[in-house]
Amino acid sequence: MVRMTEIHLIEQHQVRTVFPSIDRNHTPRSQRYFVWTVGCQMNVSDSERLEAALQAVGYSPSNRPEDASFIVLNSCSVRASAEERIFGKLGQIQYIKQRQPDTTVVLWGCMVGPENQSLFQAQLPMVDHFVSPSAVDQIVALAPNPVYQIEEPVLPVRDWQHPPVSVFVPIQYGCNMTCSYCVIPLRRGRERSRPMAEIATEVQKLVDHGVKEIVLLGQIVDSWGHDLPGRPTLAQLLRHIHDTPGLLRLRFLTSHPAWMTDELIHTVAQLPRCQPEINLPVQAGHDTVLQYMRRGYTVARYRELVHKIRTAIPHIALTTDIIVGHPGETREHVAQTLALVEEIRFDKIHIAMFSARPGTRAAAQEDDPTLAVAEAEKHYRRRQLEQVQERIATDINARLLGQTVDVLVETESRGKWRGRTGGNKLVFFTYPIDQTGRVVPVRISHTSPWSLQGVCLDQAR
């Protein structure tokens, strides 16, 4: 899945303008929207697409929900804490709706599934519409005061005056797996791959407008294409879009150990714009827990994959996701996970504590006191993993000290330029000239487990 367990619970509200011909400073409240997003990269991508579409029909963004007549909350249900944040926001929205009853409120995203809409309708009277994840067109159709009609597909960029350096492009929606802890298949449905030609056209248009890096998104991105005529593969898609003129970097998220193929590994190794980074969620380091989780692979299969990847791409940055505290997990199991982490030495681990999601198999197991793991114990296991990983990441990053790395510069951040290496490590450096969107050589002068600092050596290449 797309960073589910590793989800950073991005809480995002950015305001940008897209069509300079519209005087957005004087747009009335009746044509202002407010989009609030919690969740993974797929949600961020959905919201970017929605905002671009709302601007295309004549709406302008609003900084505050009370200044907008159309409010969309893009929700996440991957953990209970994400849902609690949404309920908190809905409390604020309820107050606005009482004072301004003409406000239209939409609850969107992974909290909205076919099985819970009627429950929510009773519980959340401030919400006018409930819309399933990714259904951008449905939401645009609910906006009460459009000025224009959308005549061609809208690209997921909210501000063409300042186009982002890197853009997420969803290539597949839904998931066919049945991982015990995961609610995504219930909410996002079966896998649907976008056709190759449609993706290639979108990538070309984005790059033509100044985007430098494309990140292809899917819940199991490696399975892209199996439901399309001719069953094209992700490796074929990468080859197809790799030579898009102007494209500097290509990445994909998130892989699944049961779906990753030799063809994909060798394609990443061969294509120079494919960046040396793979996120390969292992989730646990013991076969018993992997079986509880219904992940569909063994630790031995995972090790074998890592060996293949590192043989083909020796400089690969390997990241993973791990859940601690799944029902049935014991300290002995966790010891095996810690041993695997020490053995593989990941560049980064997204660690999540198990959170029971209603309707999932693991939620039922959590009700069994012989299987459930106490909250304090989950915290303990997470800390154990974090400590081990911090030491490993410190060591891996320290090896870059004094080396020169290519950095794609994304933005200015607190007086420095911020960018990423091919292995997706954050780098900060100072330079007198705007370097945004360029790949520059940076000599690393300081490292930490989380980021690097350096000196830009040269003019932009």
Q: Site residues (CB under 6 A) for ligand SF4?
A: 1, 4, 175, 177, 179, 182, 184-185, 219-220, 256
The distance of closest approach from Cβ of residue 351 to ligand SF4 in the complex, given in angstroms and rounded to an integer, is 15
Q: Minimum distance between the CB of residue 361 and ligand SF4, rounded to whole angstroms? A: 11
d(CA 435, CA 423): 19
- Beta strands in 188-248, from DSSP E residues, in sequence order: 192-193, 213-217
Tokens, residue 39: 């969740």
**Smallest distance, Å, CB 68 to ligand SF4?**
32
The contacts found for 235-240 with CB under 8 angstroms, 24 or more apart, are 235/261, 235/263, 235/264, 235/266, 235/267, 236/196, 237/171, 237/196, 237/199, 238/264, 238/267, 238/268, 238/271, 238/274, 239/267, 239/271, 240/196, 240/200
User: How near is the Cβ of 456 to ligand SF4 at its closest, in Å?
Assistant: 38
Residues 6+ apart with CB under 8 A from 307: none
Q: How far is the CB of 175 from ligand SF4 (least distance, A)?
A: 3
CA distance 164 to 41: 15
Chain centre distance of CA 219:
9
Q: Give least dist CB 412 to ligand SF4, A.
A: 35
CA distances to 24, 42, 160, 228, 334 from 62, in Å: 10, 22, 18, 39, 46
Query: Least distance from C-beta 166 to ligand SF4, angstroms?
Result: 22
Nearer to ligand SF4, 82 or 175 (CB): 175
Are residues 92 and 65 in contact, defined by beta-carbon separation less than 8 angstroms? yes
Contacts for 362-365 with beta carbons within 8 Å, 24 or more apart? 362/180, 362/181, 362/292, 362/293, 362/326, 362/327, 365/180, 365/292, 365/327, 365/328
CB 60 to ligand SF4: min, Å: 35
In the bound state with ligand SF4, the residue whose beta carbon lies nearer, of 258 and 455, is 258
Residue among 79 and 212 whose Cβ is closer to ligand SF4: 79
Among 450, 431, 439, 435, smallest CA distance to 404 is for: 439
Which tokens go with 153?
Answer: 């597909």
Q: Which residue is nearest to ligand SF4 (CB)?
A: 1
Q: How far is the CB of 188 from ligand SF4 (least distance, A)?
A: 8
In whole angstroms, what is the distance from residue 341 CA to residue 407 CA? Answer: 27
Q: Which of 78, 344 has the CB closer to ligand SF4?
A: 78
Between 7 and 140, CB nearer to ligand SF4: 7
Closest CA to 252 of 12, 262, 267, 243: 267
- Closer residue to ligand SF4 in complex, CB, 44/220: 220
Which of residues 60 and 75 has its CB atom nearest to ligand SF4 in the complex? Answer: 75
CA atoms of 175 and 186, how far apart (whole Å): 9
* Between 35 and 362, CB nearer to ligand SF4: 362
**Cβ proximity to ligand SF4, 78 vs 241, nearer residue:** 78
Q: Which is nearer to ligand SF4, 57 or 184 (CB)?
A: 184
CA atoms of 219 and 255, how far apart (whole Å): 8
DSSP letters along 33-82, please? EEEEEEESHHHHHHHHHHHHHHHHTT-EE-SSGGG-SEEEEEE--SSHHH
Question: What are φ and ψ of residue 357, in 5° steps?
Answer: -110, 125
Nearer to ligand SF4, 196 or 220 (CB): 220
Q: How far is the CB of 254 from ligand SF4 (least distance, A)?
A: 7
Residue 176 CB, shortest distance to ligand SF4, in Å, is 7
- Smallest distance from the beta carbon of 416 to ligand SF4, in angstroms? 35
Phi, psi values for residue 391, rounded to 5°: -65, -45
Nearer to ligand SF4, 157 or 177 (CB): 177
d(CA 254, CA 220) in angstroms, rounded, equals: 6
